Amino acid sequence: MFFLVDCVQRRYFSRSIVEITGILQKTPNLALAILNMLGCYAGLPGTLKFTTEFFIFTAFVEIAPLSSFFIVFVANCLGLIAFHKVWFNAIYSVSTKDDDLSKLDLT
């Protein structure tokens, strides 16, 4: 994830995801790598995030059963919705700037 943020920063000269639009049209390989990262961040089974969340939340349910369900909902559902919404806007939206389309793509 940090490597992809560095790739975006080197190509667009900004780390503000709000300023960056149209990644799919300019750099399709970078967009596909970001979409892959979003899948891993969502905690798909088999990823490291899924394994760690499973162990953390299992232990947390044993300690505080009622409050653990609220924290799981907020952390996973609402956090993932906000995170994915920002990245999907950056990837799929149309660029409003008049910059060149010759950004260096991943090879």
Helix/strand/coil for 12: helix
Domain extent at residue 41: 2-13+20-92
pLDDT, one tens digit per residue, over 53-97 is 888 888 888 888 888 888 877 777 787 787 778 787 777 777 666
Q: How many domains are contained in the chain? A: 1
Residue 104 is encoded by which pair of tokens?
């260096």
Q: Enter the pTM of the model.
A: 0.65
Asked if residue 101 belongs to a domain, the reply is: no
The DSSP code for 106 is P
Q: Please work out, in degrees rounded to the nearest 5, the angle formed at the alpha carbon of residue 85 by the alpha carbons of 82 and 91.
A: 145
Residue 72 is encoded by which pair of tokens?
């799981």
What is the C-alpha radius of gyration for the chain, rounded to an integer number of angstroms?
17
DSSP H helices, 1-107, are 2-12, 23-26, 28-41, 48-63, 65-72, 79-92
User: Is 100's pLDDT higher than 60?
Assistant: no
